[in-house]
Amino acid sequence: MSGVRRVRFFIGWPAGLIFLVVLGCRGRDVGPSASPAGSPAAQVVDLSSFRPQSEFLGRIVFQSDLGGNNDIYLLTGGGLRRLTRDPASDEFPRWSPDGRSIAFTSNRGGTYQIYVMDADGENVRRVTNGEREAIEEGWYPDGKRLAYTEQRKKAIGRSYRLMTADLSSGAVTPLLPEFKGSTALPDFSPTAPLLAFTGKRTMGWDAYLADLRTGEIRALTEGGKACRPRFSPDGTRIAYVSSTADGKGDIWMMNSAGGGKEQLTDRPDSYDYFPAWSPDGEWIVFASGTKHYPTEGIWELALIKPGTNLVVPLFKSGGRDVFPDWR
């Protein structure tokens, strides 16, 4: 795994470029943005002018519509590279544990399903092929399986269930079938048999933790205003989104047992979502926007250093730059 040893900031930035941020979580944020299958072909965009606003080591994949529809992009210290060019919608990229592959969600086959490609965007292969839509995936630590969210349409609204797909056999099995309610957005601890996920038993979403050895499942948050838990690389902390402070949302952090909750971003005028850790656990990359995702507004990537109120702008294309994942 490539580490991140430093983040250097340009001297002489205007004061407005270093800011504090805040974001919330609402139930409809669980699914991907709704882009119709067969949407217009992506525009040709010159990426040479897109550079990160701060220098960093590592590789960040994310979803952006800067080319006309949602595609997967790779951001490094050297600039931006486009990894997918399908006229459909490619979303929610996640690095494999060994950094050699990227899983993502796409409706290029007509419905949303899970795909995997090499780290350079080549050799795209389909993982799921079910009747229901498969969205927003997470890798098992062994890199041989993917957990994902199966979206089920109901008479009124939708429900969500976690499933597992074996990359070798193609076998699909339910994950946490004993949970009474909706389960979504899986993230595995890299150091213990633990699964963090977003769940809803009645009203509102919360962060949950499942012990895969004992089968115990418990809520990490209460009140129906939290989602998208993500383990730190050492498995000791969890970043997540909560709207308890301002009704919009912020990036928060807790220990892996659910204690020590700390609000990291605090900007009432923005929505801060989709946290992901740097490989050394010193920073969190997230997406921030002034209007609610996914239907409105400009979204940009930023960095927050846990334990401080330092937020650094990272990348802004003028479109919706969301779902970052860092190697």
The model carries a pTM of 0.87
Write down the pLDDT at residue 249: 94
* pLDDT in 10s for each residue of the chain, 327 residues: 333 333 333 222 222 322 222 223 433 445 444 444 444 455 667 787 788 887 777 899 999 999 999 999 999 988 999 999 999 999 999 999 999 999 999 999 999 999 999 999 999 999 999 999 999 999 999 999 999 999 988 777 789 999 999 999 999 999 999 999 999 999 999 999 999 999 999 889 999 999 999 999 999 999 999 999 999 999 999 999 999 998 999 999 999 999 999 999 998 889 999 999 999 999 999 999 988 876 678 999 999 999 988 899 999 999 999 999 999
* Beta carbons of 200 and 27 less than 8 angstroms apart: yes
Write down the pLDDT at residue 43: 64
Write down the pLDDT at residue 37: 41
* Beta carbons of 287 and 274 less than 8 angstroms apart: yes
Q: Radius of gyration over alpha carbons of the chain, in Å? A: 18
The tokens for 305 are 């250093």
Write down the pLDDT at residue 24: 37
Q: Which residue, 234, 155, 138, is CA-closest to 192?
A: 234
CA distances in angstroms from 161 to 96, 111, 185, 218, 292, listed in the order given: 22, 17, 9, 17, 24
**Bond from prior residue into 294 cis (ω within 30 degrees of 0):** yes
Per-residue pLDDT tens for 206-224?
Answer: 999 999 999 999 999 999 9
Give me the sheet containing 145-153, strands edge to edge.
133-139, 145-153, 158-166, 172-174
Per-residue pLDDT tens for 87-144?
Answer: 999 999 999 999 999 999 999 999 999 999 999 999 999 999 999 999 999 999 999 9
Q: Classify domain 17-326 at the CATH superfamily level.
A: TolB, C-terminal domain (2.120.10.30)
Write down the pLDDT at residue 18: 27
Domain borders along the chain are 17-326
Pairing of strands 226-231, 101-106: unpaired
